[in-house]
Amino acid sequence: MVIQVKPNSSNSSKTMDGSQQKVEANILLLGAENVGKSALTVRFLTRRFIGEYGDIESIYNHSDKIDGREISFNIWDSLYPQDGDSAESVSEKQLQWADGIVIVYSICDRASFEVARRQVQLIRRAKKASASAPVVIVGNKRDLQHQRAVSGEEGRLLALSSDCGFFEISAAENYHGVLLVFHEVLELVREARALKKGTVGIKGIVRSVSAVFARRRAE
């Protein structure tokens, strides 16, 4: 695993014959303590669940081939501030860096769901272009059904009302769900870039119109 900090250099470049080269995407993981941000990251990077992860804030680089195209992910596994001040839990630096954001909560921990809600609001209310960064909300620890404190419906509603993607997964039990999360956020990042370049298809237009209304509802 390579730990590195990079500026926001997300791009895709072209070879001499016009074919697409490596695509780079900066993905920021947010969420309260103990919800499984590191577990998700490590699952994606190594396909393994190792149980304990420590309190290290890192940016990992990981290359993958998706639909025949080389993708370079930079994944920032953030730490929730110790004092628990949610207003401080999403920094300007993080928002400027991120092309796409994954907000994780635990389905067994209602307080972590409220942190996720607050973080979505903070992102959507940010003044700059970062306010429109694609967000995927993830309810983790789905294997702990008997301790469930947040229904799937609540998670889906939060995502719908703030124009975010949504998944419920278990990083402990399943690699596939984690893979879907990262693929979805990458897909949303690609759409957002196409929208900026004016090369967006109908799917992207529908998403961006609904984003405007969703943002109004969230305010």
Ligand X SMILES: Nc1nc2c(ncn2[C@@H]2O[C@H](COP(=O)(O)OP(=O)(O)OP(=O)(O)O)[C@@H](O)[C@H]2O)c(=O)[nH]1
Q: Could you list the residues that contact ligand X (CB under 6 A)? A: 31, 33-39, 51-53, 55, 79-80, 140-141, 143-144, 170-172
Measured between alpha carbons, how far is 195 from 172 in angstroms, rounded to an integer? 35
Closest approach of ligand X to the CB of residue 169, in Å: 7
Measured between alpha carbons, how far is 122 from 118 in angstroms, rounded to an integer? 6
| Cα-based torsion angle of the residue sequence 151, 95, 97, 93 in order, rounded to the nearest 10 degrees | -130
Closest approach of ligand X to the CB of residue 9, in Å: 25
Q: Do strands 20-31 and 12-14 pair parallel, antiparallel, or not at all (unpaired)?
A: antiparallel
Closest approach of ligand X to the CB of residue 149, in Å: 14
Nearer to ligand X, 29 or 192 (CB): 29
Closest approach of ligand X to the CB of residue 91, in Å: 15
Closest approach of ligand X to the CB of residue 208, in Å: 30
Measured between alpha carbons, how far is 165 from 91 in angstroms, rounded to an integer? 21
Nearer to ligand X, 39 or 214 (CB): 39
H/E element, 42? helix 37-46
User: What are the backbone dihedrals phi and psi of residue 160, each rounded to the nearest 5 degrees, phi first?
Assistant: -65, -45
Please name which of 111, 142, 119 lies closest in space to residue 29, comparing C-alpha atoms: 119
Measured between alpha carbons, how far is 66 from 23 in angstroms, rounded to an integer? 10
According to DSSP, residue 108 is labeled T
Nearer to ligand X, 69 or 118 (CB): 118
Nearer to ligand X, 24 or 166 (CB): 166
Nearer to ligand X, 101 or 211 (CB): 101
Nearer to ligand X, 123 or 192 (CB): 123
Residue nearest to ligand X (CB): 36
Measured between alpha carbons, how far is 219 from 215 in angstroms, rounded to an integer? 6
Closest approach of ligand X to the CB of residue 51, in Å: 5
